[in-house]
Structure 1
Amino acid sequence: MWRAAAAAAAPARALCRAPLPPAPQPRRRAVSVAVSPAAGLADERVETRVAGLSPGQPVTLRAVAADERGCLFQSCAHYRADSRGELHLGTDASHGGSYTGVEPMGLFWSLAPAGMERPYQRLLPRSTDVPTKVEVFVHESHSLPDALPGPLVAKAKVERWFTAPGVRRIRLKEGRVRGSLFLPAGDGPFPGVIDMYGDEGGLIEFRSSLLATRGFAALSLPYFDFEDLPKVLKELKLEYFEDAARFLQRHPKVKGPGVGVIGTGKGAELALSMITFLPEVVAAVCISGCSSNTVADLHYGEMTLPGLRFDMNKVSVSDAGVFDVFDALEDPANPANSPSAIPIEKAEGHFLLVVGEDDHMWKSSLYAELAISRLRQYGKENFELLSYPGAGHRIDPPYTPFCKVALDRVLGVPVLGGGESKAHAHAQEHSWRKIQEFLHLHLG
């Protein structure tokens, strides 16, 4: 009987020894990336988060954008998910790629021409009423900027706008003055600012449109190579800039009594001349400028400030064909060049001097020191200085992609502007806030 019972129990024991089926695993969440706001102003930060990764999983985040000509720009950064399988670019550090460290906007300011594109191009908007569209991708594993990325696991789209709703753009043809006037939404009146760039010429509007979103009536003012203005920069008459200042000062949407001016490079130098000679101008922001008149003679009535010249024998060219013009401009401190010095001690308004200490376009840090020395020599303290270690020549509104070497629009050759990407990006973000504070303070 016991044998029969044992025989009956054998199948049961065999069943107990059989392996159990695997327990059902929790379903893994799909990977997602969220960029907020998905549509916002180009000078505002976005928040980028990734969720649904495995703890510690290595991923590459890529950003891709195209300019209005179809040229592709890209950047990438290497991250690892935290213990919850998440990433937050505001607190988590990149370990490689286009930048390292905690950089919430690194994917944007490190955008550079893709490998198949012509190098040294800048991602700048040609039209302020069309956003820059950026796609953000999440790929498995770490991959270099121009290497084939790993499998795509998530993506998101972002729009970066240079004009806020309600901002009006008015094309200007007032007497001999040309340009675009950007007026903020609302009744006003608003503080008025003239905005100028350098010797690349033409009409550059994106800083003016951003100033208008921040409450300024901003006049983007070209001074050559636009419509019926002179095609090349041979000589300048300050009366043209005087007409622009008077037009803006008298505009019904502009509060007085004076207006401000912001300029970069040659535009900064013109800003110094405007605040020196024109009583309508009471505040000047000078970015990477020279305290002497350069390149083209400047006339005002019977007065002429001769332009310092560039000595092409002092231009060096690298093996890659990049031009370095750092030492080429005649020395403003040389007593023989004193007729070119702008007599800024005559100005009754206020200066904000903004320079990058690694500017290789010219010696803007030295030129700022010369300007300050001249002002103090005459007992003036009507200036502020923002000097940024590691920043290069063209300090634009924040998150504008850094470009150490850029194609010169006139010469058609790559020219070294200097700077280190992270330091330059931080200079752009900090200076933009200080510029607005300065203009609001001195324009009422």
Structure 2
Amino acid sequence: MQSLLCLLSRRLPRVPWYSRSMSGVSLQLSPDRCLFDEPLRLRVSGLSPGQDVSLQTALTDEGGEIFSSLGRYRAGSSGELDLTQSPALEGGSFTGIEPDGPLWALEPRTPLRRLVKKNVQSPIQLRFSLYQDHEPPGPLLASAAQERSFMGEGVTRVPVREGTVRGSLFLPPGPGPFPGVIEVQGTGGGLLEYKSSLLANKGFATLALAYYNYEDLPKQMKDFRLEYFEEAVNYMLQHPKVKGPGIGLLGHSKGGDLVLSMASFLNGITASAVVNGSVANVAAALHYKDITLHPIGYDLKKITYPEPGMGDIRDIIYNPLEEANRKSLIPVGRAKCKFLFLVAEDDRNWKSDFYAHTACQLLVEQGKEKPEIVYYAKAGHYIEPPYFPLCKASMHKLIGLPVVWGGEPKAHAVAQMDSWQKIQAFFHKHLNKQSMPNHKL
């Protein structure tokens, strides 16, 4: 399978990025321009009844890496394929009726690569190529391209250099004010904007907040001050385009424990969504006034190796409920906001299920409302917006070796689609009672 994808990817430079058909075969995409998180609608006409074809989908990321998938199909009696009705056959990247399979089944040509979009002001170009036969694939029959964008019509990006706060604010079209959300990423550092820009299309004024290794921010994960994040909250609360009286927080992985700390100590927060986060402070000391949360310890001897040179680190972090480790436990019971926890049951980064359950207990013990926890079977650590391909393994920035992240492609794709809708519904419910429409390109 991998060798076939490599064979096809070598043909990519000869496939143009505009629609093209040969021998009366036509490949139609609807639409040809859309937002990244919109479903795929693809049809083929002009084939012979029962004709075997291979559909290759590919994109090239900003670093030049090619991600591709392969679907094998057989035309119906009318000589047409409709991915909402035509099942993919065995031998490709996915099987069965999977209209979005060409997207979620994308895999990198080079191992240990994760699809990350850094420049959200330019779209991702997807290339669809239809070949005759299955294996080996025959001549190219038709091709088409689709632009998938992160900023819809009227969405604006505002660089933020306010006081010490560094990031980008994405505003929906219109006068506002809009429900406000701060989005905090994981341990990668820098500034990633793809989630925030997509949320702006859904009616949220969203701040993608950098917190280290960006411009004049700290270069390493060593010591953080919660006052920095408090300044970001106040920036949003005072912005004329942001609707009060409170804002929402969205955090994944390390961003999840930062969100829990913000919700536990800071005012002005109404709703917090945590995706595969930790209830213990991780990787760097966190200071707020005269309080310090120490980084939770870990034992590298507990790394297992499901494949040679590929680590599984799920069990290495100490239990924050044990007395020796409680200086790392985030006092979530202090929080006054609503919570949504999204948990991948096959998260191999750490025990997200245990952490969410512990946070829930801490809240209930303090008489707070029991938060919603949504569990996703067979999903991995990197739950992204819809149609980002599963990252099976990559280099861990802190551990310093390649690690597995967990998840199975189909189940993970379902988790991404469902969680993305639940995040939006959660924020609309608690930040803005009136649901706002999606903004199209």
Amino acid at match of 1:108: L
Partner of 2:99: 104
Please point out which of 131, 134, 138 is paired with 1:142.
134
Query: How far is the alpha carbon of 1:414 from its aligned partner?
Result: 2.2
Partner of 1:424: 412
**Alpha-carbon separation, structure 1, partners of 2:93 and 2:322:** 42
Amino acid at match of 2:277: G
Which stretch of structure 1 is more off in the superposition, 157-166 or 313-322? 313-322
**Alpha-carbon separation, structure 2, partners of 1:78 and 1:215:** 38
Please point out which of 248, 257, 272 is paired with 1:284.
272
Amino acid at match of 2:190: G
5+ long unaligned stretches in structure 2: 1-21, 433-441
Query: How far is the alpha carbon of 1:319 from its aligned partner?
Result: 4.2
Distance 1:188 1:73, change over 3 A: same
Alignment of 1:36-75 (within 5 A): 36-75=30-69
Distance 1:319 1:392, change over 3 A: closer
**Alpha-carbon separation, structure 2, partners of 1:76 and 1:57:** 17
| Residue deviations 1:389-432 (CA, integer Å, cap 9, x gap) | 01000111101111111233456642211000000000000110
Instruction: Indicate conservation of the 8 Å contact 2:341/2:373, yes or no.
Output: yes
Query: How far is the alpha carbon of 1:268 from its aligned partner?
Result: 0.7
Residue 34 of structure 1 pairs with residue 28 of structure 2 = yes
Q: How many residues align?
A: 410
**Alpha-carbon separation, structure 2, partners of 1:81 and 1:419:** 32
Residue 198 of structure 1 pairs with residue 186 of structure 2 = yes
Partner of 2:12: none
Amino acid at match of 2:227: E
| Residue deviations 1:264-303 (CA, integer Å, cap 9, x gap) | 0010111111111111111111000011212211111011
**Alpha-carbon separation, structure 2, partners of 1:99 and 1:150:** 20
The higher relative CO (CA closer than 8 Å, separation ≥ 6) is in 2
Amino acid at match of 1:228: D
User: TM-score of the superposition, structure 1-length normalised?
Assistant: 0.89
- Answer with 1 or 2: which has the greater Rg: 1
5+ long unaligned stretches in structure 1: 1-27
Please point out which of 207, 224, 232 is paired with 2:195.
207
Partner of 1:354: 342
Query: How far is the alpha carbon of 1:314 from its aligned partner?
Result: 1.7
Classify the secondary structure of the residue corresponding to 2:407.
coil
Compute the RMSD of aligned alpha carbons.
1.5
Classify the secondary structure of the residue corresponding to 1:256.
strand
Partner of 2:84: 90
Amino acid at match of 1:109: W
Classify the secondary structure of the residue corresponding to 2:272.
strand
Instruction: Indicate conservation of the 8 Å contact 1:350/1:382, yes or no.
Output: no
Alignment of 1:30-429 (within 5 A): 30-96=24-90, 97-114=92-109, 118-143=110-135, 149-409=137-397, 413-429=401-417
Which stretch of structure 1 is more off in the superposition, 341-350 or 409-418? 409-418
Instruction: Indicate conservation of the 8 Å contact 2:69/2:93, yes or no.
Output: yes
| Residue deviations 1:86-124 (CA, integer Å, cap 9, x gap) | 11111222123111222111111111112xxx3121222
**Alpha-carbon separation, structure 2, partners of 1:179 and 1:239:** 16
Partner of 2:435: none
Which stretch of structure 1 is more off in the superposition, 206-215 or 302-311? 302-311
Query: How far is the alpha carbon of 1:334 from its aligned partner?
Result: 2.0
Aligned residues with identical type, % of pairs: 47
**Alpha-carbon separation, structure 2, partners of 1:275 and 1:356:** 22
User: TM-score of the superposition, structure 2-length normalised?
Assistant: 0.90
Which stretch of structure 1 is more off in the superposition, 396-405 or 339-348? 339-348
Distance 1:162 1:412, change over 3 A: farther
**Alpha-carbon separation, structure 1, partners of 2:397 and 2:113:** 10
Classify the secondary structure of the residue corresponding to 1:422.
helix
Classify the secondary structure of the residue corresponding to 1:182.
strand
Query: How far is the alpha carbon of 1:386 from its aligned partner?
Result: 1.2
